[in-house]
A = this chain, B = another copy of it.
Amino acid sequence: MQSFLDVNAMRAWLDARATALTERDTVPLLAALGRVLAADVVATLDVPPHDNSAMDGYAVRVAELGQPLPVSQRIPAGTVPRALADGSVARIFTGAPLPPGADAVVMQEVCTVGDDGRVSVDAEVTLGQNIRRAGSDIAAGNVVAPAGKRLTPADLGLLASIGIAEVDVIRPLRVAVFFTGDELAEPGEPLADGKIYNSNRYWLTPLLLQLGCEVTDLGTVPDNFGATREALTDAADFADIILTCGGVSVGEEDHVKAAVEAVGTLDLWKIAIKPGKPFAFGRVGAADFIGLPGNPVSGYVTFHVFVRRYLEQRQGLAEVREPSVIRLKAAFEWTRADARREEYLRVKRVVENGETVLARFANQNSGVLSSCAWADGLVRLAPGQTVAPGDWVDYLPFE
């Protein structure tokens, strides 16, 4: 079946099929970078655990100030203070627990220490000044990181601060990739007449790895029905998703379509998108099958417009990236609007007169990835939309 779909309809169709994984791994904190949290993490303690000092200085009783006072104890961070003796101050350092009885901390810069060791305060002091209260950062019972969040360095730091040493994360999405086409040569091999180098393998696998997928590369499969069918059934044994580039248009040289239909189901579309157009989604056993266009630029753009979002939903991500469109000003002109298709231009942020604007790669028609390598994102144009310099446009960063 060959259908025609606009971009939003295709996205909605995929959204309806994107079932999040639920199986979990328990991993040490530092191994959880980029993984997706399987459950809310709830704080079991207050941070800070005690009232403590926000400054290097002196812990005082405000009512006793106005006269030089002796230093009755010294409280470095990590120690346990005694109650503040009457008529005295305590030397205290940033992060150190406040001694019981103290009601403010005076920063050392406004204190004078006399020859007798007594401390005078040369500033007005208010109750509670420079005290960080127990539980003021995190109160026990707070959710500090929600289920479905991809863990960042800051998340790991935050979880460490409440003593979390390991976390439950969704298991990695297993993606099998393979490539077909007797015209494909591998980089490093001499290029026989009529052949081209396989470039799809070299952008697709890294993109999947960057998203935290577990990638199995089944290599280049000979361009025939039997070998393609075998690759598909092999992959369906272990993979959540089988991804390939090319072989799924209506051309009669395409064995992938026939092979997927023989061992599973397949829907094929022409999407109203440029570059792009052919897109296939099917099932082989329990695995999804996704067929990207064989043209590297079309495949790369299609991946960013549809596949990344789909993978993130399957990974269990609560917030997928689609909303992170940024409105920026174009520093370019685009007059060759496509009347019927959404168009995705390869663009890059540049600074002009102190303002961030978008530059466009000159040759938007190239069959190779020069435009994608140069760019840091895409501009999405509605069908028929032209652009004049200074126009606001929708920018979708690659990262």
Residues of A within 8 A of B (CB): 29-30, 33, 45, 47-50, 54, 56, 76-80, 93-97, 132, 136-138, 144-145, 152-166, 181-189, 191, 193-207, 209-210, 223, 249-251, 253, 294-296, 300, 323-328, 349-351, 355-356, 366-370, 372-373, 375, 398-399
Contact = CB atoms under 8 A, between A and B. Distances in A.
A194 B79 contact: yes
A136 B367 CA distance: 9
Contacts of A191: 45, 49, 163
Nearest to A161: B199
Contact of A194 (B78, B250, B300, B328): B78
25 contacts: A29-B187, A30-B205, A33-B210, A48-B196, A77-B182, A78-B195, A79-B194, A80-B194, A93-B251, A94-B249, A94-B251, A95-B183, A96-B194, A136-B366, A154-B203, A154-B372, A157-B199, A157-B203, A158-B373, A160-B203, A163-B187, A163-B197, A326-B349, A326-B356, A399-B399
A155 B166 CA distance: 35
Contacts of A195: 78
A78 B49 CA distance: 68
Tell me the number of copies of this protein: 2
A68 to B, nearest CB: 20
Contact of A162 (B136, B163, B197, B204): B197
A318 to B, nearest CB: 14
Contacts of A204: 153, 157
B196 A49 contact: yes
Contacts of A152: 206, 373, 398
Given A183-B77, A197-B163, A356 B188 contact: no
A391 to B, nearest CB: 15
Nearest to A324: B349
B207 A153 contact: yes
Contact of A372 (B93, B138, B157): B157
A155 B249 contact: no
Contacts of A193: 50, 80, 97
Contact of A253 (B76, B144, B165): B76
A201 B80 CA distance: 24
Given A77-B182, A153-B210, A154-B203, 16 more contacts: A29-B187, A30-B205, A47-B368, A78-B195, A80-B193, A138-B368, A154-B369, A157-B202, A157-B204, A159-B202, A161-B196, A163-B185, A163-B187, A163-B189, A323-B351, A399-B399
A81 B186 CA distance: 22
A125 B344 CA distance: 27
A94 B250 CA distance: 11
A294 B56 CA distance: 13
A189 B163 CA distance: 7
Contact of A356 (B300, B325, B350, B368): B325
Given A49-B191, A154-B369, A163-B188, A253 B294 contact: no
Nearest to A394: B356
Contacts of A199: 157-158, 160-161
A164 B187 CA distance: 5
A181 B78 contact: yes
Given A56-B249, A196-B48, A356-B327, A157 B370 contact: no
Contacts of A138: 368, 370
Contacts of A29: 187, 202
A188 B28 CA distance: 10
Contacts of A194: 50, 77-80, 96-97
